[in-house]
Amino acid sequence: MGVPAFYRWLAEKYPKTVVDCVEAEAPPLADGSSDFGALDWRAPSPNGTEVDNLYLDMNGVIHPCARPEVGPAPSSEEHIFQNIEKYIDRLLAAVRPRRLIYMAVDGPAPRAKMNQQRSRRFKAAKDAAERDAAEERLRAEWRARGLEPPPKRDAAAFAFDSNVITPGTQFMARLAAALRAYVARRLASHPAWRGLAVVLSDASVPGEGEHKIMEHIRAQRAMPGYDANMWHCVHGLDADLIMLALATHEPRFLILREVVFSAKDRKRQLRQDGRAGLGAADDDDETDEAAATAAALRRGGKPLQFLRIHTLREYLAVEFERMSFRGTAVTFELERLIDDFVFLCFFVGNDFLPHMPALEIHDGAIDTLMSLYRDGMGELGGFVTDRGEVDLARAELLLRKIGAYEEEVLSRRRRRDAGRLRMVGERERAVAAEVASAAAVAAGGASPYGSLFPPQTADALKLWKQLEAFADARAYDQTLKIEPNGGILRACAHLYCHMLGLRAEAGYGERALVVSAPLPTDAEAAAADAAAGAGAARAVAASAAAPAADGGNAAGGAAAARRAKGGGASGNAAQHGQSMAAPPSGADAAARASRFAVELKLLLDRRDEELQAARDDVRYGTPGWRERYYACKLQIGADEPARLREVVQAYVEGLIWVLRYYYKGVQSWGWFYPYHYAPCASDMKGLRELAPRIRFDKGAPWSPLTQLMAVFPARSGHAMPAPYRALMGARVSAVVDFFPSDFKQDLNGKKFGWQAIAVLPFIDAPRLHAALEPLRAQLGVEERARDEHGPARVYARADAPLGTELRALAGAVGEHSKHFVASAAVAFGGTALRPAELHGDAAASVVDCTLAPPPVAGHVSRLLPTVQLPARTLLDGEGPVLSRDAKNLAKERERGANGGGYGQGARGGFGAQAARRAGIGHADRPASASAAAAGSRMVYHALGARAVNAATGARAGAPTAQAGGVRLSNAYSVLSLE
């Protein structure tokens, strides 16, 4: 499921589950970051909870450290490794584990997961290829306009391909070595690490990182000596961690993650960071981006939050406490209800199955499922799951209830989208009014909005001062983001930017305007400088002689002087007949590169618009949509029930596989769902009849290099051994069809390109293995080593309790393993295998052994008898709250009941229940910024303007010779009113 969407839903509906993490201040480093490794965090935790075991899902560390949101991009692999070490130091200082650190890197994954990995990597490669092609086109267009583009990236410079964060690559092998050295170094020298045990499961150990962690916890729970009152904390970015944590039935469980910001939250955080960086509040309430970046760099990234699983369990208890079990043989059991809740969430989204057409998290699908489950318990006859197994008869009854609402939900969604299109039309008209208003003022006439200049309100004056200060700063390589509230201020922004010689643009999907300072060419700048003296004098005199026009306002005189002088940011590029001025070849290289990047981004923004414009052949919610869905998405005709039955069986297999994976570990390494789309809920019938046909072959994980061949596009072939790489592009290759450079991307009702489904061919495993087998002999020694599965390793100081046990293996004769069990001194049990290694000097040596985890005797899906529940968080009477989705849906239904808007009316399906139960509804997505682009193109004709492509500068109409005018820029067009 989508991480931001699910996390937002949970935090809004169950607000007390999320609390901010308190972090200690660390000494600064020369680069502006903080040295968390220097902190001695043996003191009690400022967060009030003494965590025993900290588990790191390392891919949630590696990716942001390789592509940081703040600070400079890494200049080498070593730089990435340093970032990773610093970030781990930060997490340890924040959590302060007392017994165990478990680092789990994604290893070779089950085949069901590989399909998602393949999709992500191919989409990333296609995006990169399109970016390269767009950059080449833009370079040619700059040269055609007489402008010198910035130099290309040095071929020898470090260029990181994030696809190499995949098991089997040289990068992952070097990262494993760096992590081993880091652990040994910290254990030997850091006082807070002294009594800790550390487990490192690197990318050679099969399994996804989060599932390796949960398998460890399940195994420990089944061992004698396990302490049921330990506090566990997992750090990771995957929403699945919430479900996995619930499935452990460990109430003393925290999830640590970076804050998920909405656009409004991000703006607020930037303002806070900016003020923190400045050391004082900004009287103008402006965000200081540089100070915000410095504050985030000093902190080590975005703020951290804890999600408290014990509090979520309390909310779920309240959620289900009024359920009626009449007519069933069961009673209220929170642990069984939690297991069913985990299963319900699978229908909305998981990494292994596509969700059904009518089940979107933004449509309130989770709450709807919970509501149907609560109300239907009597009909269901009991719980839907039992210790990781699905009762297919009860699951079918639940799906039948969902199917009954399918038509209604999709019809309502279509009406809602149609209403949004009407809103887009209104926005287009608003854009036209803004342009007309600014044009009228520029021509010396009146504005439909009233007076725009001089500023008449405090907000308008503040906006003028903000833009004027930016213009005076002559920050050619910087941009300023403003968010004018309403048509009047937007019209003011367009006019003021024109007067100050600035450009204002809106990117795709954004309401804010990005202001920048276009530069004249060298010849134009020289001409402007030559005319500066006389022009400035005339402008000041004219301003003084016309107080009525400017209202005696200083802003008017300053603007007039700036226009005549050619001052401000660009000397008003409109004077020079350029609607999209770019830096000259002699300008500062940083400014030229910055402007080129802005134009390239605007050019790339068209991709989402093109995807949005793709034909909707299904037309969800209209008569016949179901038949069209199967025909278009799954190529199944109405007269092919047997093929539809195959899809249903595969989906049922998937539901069973996923639930077992969460509770029992991998059931089959080779199973996967062989379709890109799910069946409709209304077609999930006769599920019990399928049970005898569903069998899983456990199989074995693929080798790392085989997985690379299954998930890598040809563009990332540089990370493959040469013999394998040749298969990706050779025409005679037996598997060349597995590596398409172009493929269909289907938005399937979504809004943005990153949400699109990559319609890629599925890997034919026998064909792939047959192609690779004769090439294995050509692999080098290092390549063969990377293609092997490896063990996890356990580390401890030799003078620690676990180290004492493990050290015996270092010099033992004839002893090949050491079994140890959990105790008050040792956080976990397992079997250490020889050889053991010693790191460091004799006084502070570190023992390093390979680790064989204990076999899992069977997961206990209940609280352990000795557990003591944490203190209750919720007060009497507290419970779930109405989510934003539910509030939006209630408003929509009210509009429909009153005959306005695009509401559902008296009925509502999912929506009808939303008014009665908290949290059921859909989210109003903001109108796309492509609406503003369309509006700009529309008003261009009415205003006699010339439309200029914002990315290329190619004019759509004949140029005019008039000087002066107003420019409205957005992601796709610039309107020059002259």
- For residue 915, name the pLDDT band (cuts at 50, 70, 90): very low
Rounded-to-integer distance, Cα 376 and Cα 57, Å: 37
Rounded-to-integer distance, Cα 285 and Cα 523, Å: 39
Residues 6+ away with beta carbon under 8 Å from 158: 74, 75, 76, 77
Whether 515 has a pLDDT exceeding 80, the answer reads no
From the list 246, 244, 217, the residue with the least C-alpha distance to 230 is 217
Walk across the sheet containing 966-969 and list its strands: 946-949, 973-977, 966-969
Q: What is the pLDDT of residue 576?
A: 31
Q: Is there a contact between 819 and 225 (Cβ–Cβ < 8 Å)?
A: no
Mean pLDDT check: name the lowest of 270-274, 290-294, 642-646, 754-758.
Answer: 270-274
Q: What is the pLDDT of residue 823?
A: 76
Q: What is the pLDDT of residue 204?
A: 97
Full 3-state SS string of 389-434: EECHHHHHHHHHHHHHHHHHHHHHHHHHHHHHHHHHHHHHHHHHHH
Dihedral sign of CA atoms 824, 830, 834, 835 in order: negative
Mean pLDDT check: name the lowest of 65-79, 296-310, 438-452, 893-907.
Answer: 893-907
- For residue 934, name the pLDDT band (cuts at 50, 70, 90): very low
Q: What is the pLDDT of residue 948?
A: 32
- Top-ranked range on mean pLDDT: pick from 555-569, 572-586, 587-601, 637-651: 637-651
| Section 680-699 average pLDDT | 94
Whether 334 has a pLDDT exceeding 70, the answer reads yes
Instruction: Return the exposure string of 884-918: e unless at least 16 CB atoms fall within 10 Å of the residue's CB, then b.
Output: bbbbbbbebbebbeeeebbbbeeebbbbbbbbebb
SS3 20: strand
Q: What is the pLDDT of residue 581?
A: 41
Rounded-to-integer distance, Cα 648 and Cα 891, Å: 36
How high is the mean pLDDT of the chain? 78
Q: pLDDT tens across 794-838, in order?
A: 999 988 888 888 887 766 655 678 788 777 777 788 888 876 677
Whether 614 has a pLDDT exceeding 90, the answer reads no
Q: Is there a contact between 689 and 649 (Cβ–Cβ < 8 Å)?
A: no
Q: pLDDT tens across 86-134, in order?
A: 999 999 999 999 999 999 999 999 999 999 999 999 999 999 999 999 9
Rounded to the nearest 10°, the torsion over CA 895, 900, 905, 911 is -40
Rounded-to-integer distance, Cα 94 and Cα 304, Å: 9
Q: What is the pLDDT of residue 498?
A: 74
**Burial class for 639, CB neighbours closer than 10 Å (0-12, 13-18, 19+):** exposed
Dihedral sign of CA atoms 399, 400, 402, 407 in order: positive
| Section 137-144 average pLDDT | 90
Residues 6+ away with beta carbon under 8 Å from 79: none
Q: What is the pLDDT of residue 940?
A: 30
Q: pLDDT tens across 583-608, in order?
A: 444 446 776 777 788 778 877 877 76
| Section 36-43 average pLDDT | 94
Q: How many CB atoms lie within 10 A of CB 110?
A: 26
pTM: 0.79
- For residue 975, name the pLDDT band (cuts at 50, 70, 90): very low
More confident residue, 642 or 577: 642
More confident residue, 392 or 288: 392
Q: What percent of the chain has pLDDT over 90?
A: 47
Q: Is there a contact between 784 and 740 (Cβ–Cβ < 8 Å)?
A: no
Q: What is the pLDDT of residue 891?
A: 62
Dihedrals φ, ψ of 839, to 5°? -120, 145
- For residue 31, name the pLDDT band (cuts at 50, 70, 90): confident
- Cis bond before residue 4 (omega within 30° of 0): no
Q: pLDDT tens across 71-90, in order?
A: 788 999 999 999 999 999 99
Q: What is the pLDDT of residue 287?
A: 46
Whether 305 has a pLDDT exceeding 50, the answer reads yes
The Cα angle at residue 430 between residues 426 and 433, in degrees rounded to 5: 140
Whether 791 has a pLDDT exceeding 90, the answer reads yes
Q: What is the pLDDT of residue 7?
A: 86
From the list 524, 525, 519, 510, the residue with the least C-alpha distance to 596 is 519
In angstroms and rounded to an integer, the radius of gyration of the C-alpha atoms of the chain is 31
Mean pLDDT check: name the lowest of 72-86, 363-377, 557-571, 700-714.
Answer: 557-571
The Cα angle at residue 281 between residues 264 and 457, in degrees rounded to 5: 70
More confident residue, 64 or 289: 64
Question: How far, in Å, are 360, 529, 768, 890, 919 from residue 367 at the CA level?
Answer: 11, 65, 43, 14, 6
Full 3-state SS string of 741-770: CCCEEECCCCCCHHHCEEECCCCCHHHHHH
Whether 902 has a pLDDT exceeding 70, the answer reads no
Q: What is the pLDDT of residue 577?
A: 31
Mean pLDDT check: name the lowest of 239-253, 528-542, 912-926, 962-976.
Answer: 962-976
